[in-house]
Amino acid sequence: MGDKVIVNCTVVDGRTAEGGAPVPDAAVLIRGERIAAAGPLAEVMPQASEATVIDLGGAYVTPGLVNMHTHLSLSLPGAEGEGVKAMGPHDLALYMADGARRTLACGVTTVRCVAEKDHADFALRRAIDAGRVPGPRVFTAGRALVCTGGHGHEGTDTLECDGPAEFRRGVRAQIKAGADLIKLMISGGIAGENERIDTPQLSADEMAAVLETAHAWGRKVTAHAGPATVIAEAVALGLDCVEHGYELTPEVAAAMAARGTALVPTLLVTRCADFFEELGVPAWMRARSLGAGPRHLESYAMALDAGVTVLLGSDMPPFWPFEGTNATVRELEHMSEAGLGPARALHAATLGPARWLGADADLGTVEAGRYADLVATDTDPLASASAFRTVRWVMKGGAVVRDDAAVPSLA
């Protein structure tokens, strides 16, 4: 690919939450897959004499979004979920590839998969990296580790283990397959009929075995977790991230902040009645989800007050059409409106996740050396997280994958 230079734009990224400033009348020079220069037009253009000009017509340019709680093979209880569970390996691969394409078209250029069926996520990642399938960059946990009968045990996206030795083997099996991180189910949740959100599911020695083994191999561990007591125990043992955190306390939030344990709150999962209706989710699950909503928001507020690092993750498929936008953007709106604010929401959707993934040398900002994973919006993301409803142009690795001014696109 020849050089490209993006002009007629304002560059905004997550550094604004740390004292940085937007760059109006900006230009971004792209050489191959990466950004060669970014800054004021007058400084960048002398380096771009032979570059193809991409005029974005006054748009705001941000890094591509990072969705940190993704299931491209999601199958919740209900009719639609049963259909996904019944798919053979070939159908499942194509289903997930279609989801990856739709995800990228939304402006989500990186995902963190936190339990996918049959290790199909690794095949999907290879296909995306080889250019055979359009999709986001994929960081994945492989199969989540659960106790016998634990949360999510019904599907092939989890691996049942019991006792420290089996959990150690489970960690190693995911790493052998290519996992970038480990996902652990340490409590009940919304989708398990024979459990409660506050059902503890692992012993301390089982959690310790996972954390010690994963960390020895250089992998972080994230945990599906609802109740404060279970989370407190895992944080004390060195847990790197909490998914959901439905029932935090100020004390546990403070411990998370002190330890550097991040939170992916997935606020959507307790306020998505229409999504559950669409999938035919049973009444017991809908009631449990909506009933947990008020306490979920209180927990999120406690995390913000304590200074916990919060990161964007939808749990719902990132691309799913929902309430006038897609699930990723709707989650970001909830996070912003519930106390985070637009600037910190942008950080939680870009630079924060890149740092957690250990990929901030490549992702998360619009600056030289990073991958040219970029989106353009019509309105200012620092004024409202809803600006991402107006995404109209997406680039990944220097290639334009969506341009609403041209056809066809990936949308």
* Closest by Cα among 186, 59, 109 to 395: 109
The model's pTM? 0.95
369 to 6, 13, 52, 319: CA distances (angstroms): 16, 15, 19, 28
Task: Give buried/exposed letters for 113-126 (b at 16+ CB in 10 A, else e).
Answer: bbbbbbbbbbbbbe
Amino acid symbol at 103: T
Arithmetic mean of pLDDT, 73-87: 86
pLDDT tens, residue by residue, 313-358 = 999 999 999 999 999 999 999 999 999 999 999 999 999 999 999 9
Mean pLDDT of the chain: 95
pLDDT tens track for 171-212: 999 999 999 999 999 998 877 777 788 888 899 999 999 999
> How far, rounded to the nearest angstrom, does the alpha carbon of residue 246 sit from its chain's CA centroid?
18
Q: Read off the pLDDT band of 1 (50, 70, 90).
A: low
Contact 375, 404 (CB under 8 A): no
Lowest mean pLDDT among 65-79, 123-137, 205-219, 231-245: 65-79
- Token pair 């990929």 in the structure block, residue: 359
pLDDT by residue (tens digit) across 242-287?
Answer: 999 999 999 999 999 999 999 999 999 999 889 888 888 888 888 8
Closest CA to 57 of 406, 410, 409, 407: 406
Longest dimension (CA), the chain: 65
Start-end ranges of CATH 3.20.20.140 in the chain?
Answer: 65-356
Which residue intervals of the chain bear CATH 2.30.40.10? 4-64+364-403
What Rg, from alpha-carbon coordinates, does the chain have?
Answer: 21
Q: State whether residue 25 is helix, strand or coil.
A: strand
**Intra-chain end-to-end CA distance of the chain, in Å:** 23
- Thinking of the domain 4-64+364-403, which architecture would CATH place it in? Roll (2.30)
For 380, counting Cβ atoms within 10 Å of its Cβ (0-12 exposed, 13-18 middle, 19+ buried), the class is middle
* Backbone dihedral angles phi then psi of residue 137, each to the nearest 5 degrees: -65, 140
* Cα-based distances in Å from 121 to 117, 135, 223: 8, 12, 19
The answer to whether 376 and 61 have CB atoms below 8 angstroms apart is yes
> Which overall architecture, per CATH, does domain 65-356 show?
Alpha-Beta Barrel (3.20)
Assess whether the previous peptide bond of 408 is cis (omega < 30° from 0): yes
Of all residues in the chain, what percent carry a pLDDT higher than 70? 99
Query: Which pair of structure tokens corresponds to residue 163?
Result: 């006792």
CA dist., res. 182 & res. 320, Å (int): 25
Q: Which run of H or E residues covers position 215? A: helix 204-216
Q: What is the predicted pLDDT for the residue at 182?
A: 98
Cα distance between residue 366 and residue 381, in whole Å: 14
Using CA atoms, how far apart are residues 107 and 404, in angstroms rounded to an integer? 12
- What amino acid is encoded at 125 in this protein? R
Alpha-carbon distance 17 to 259, whole Å?
21
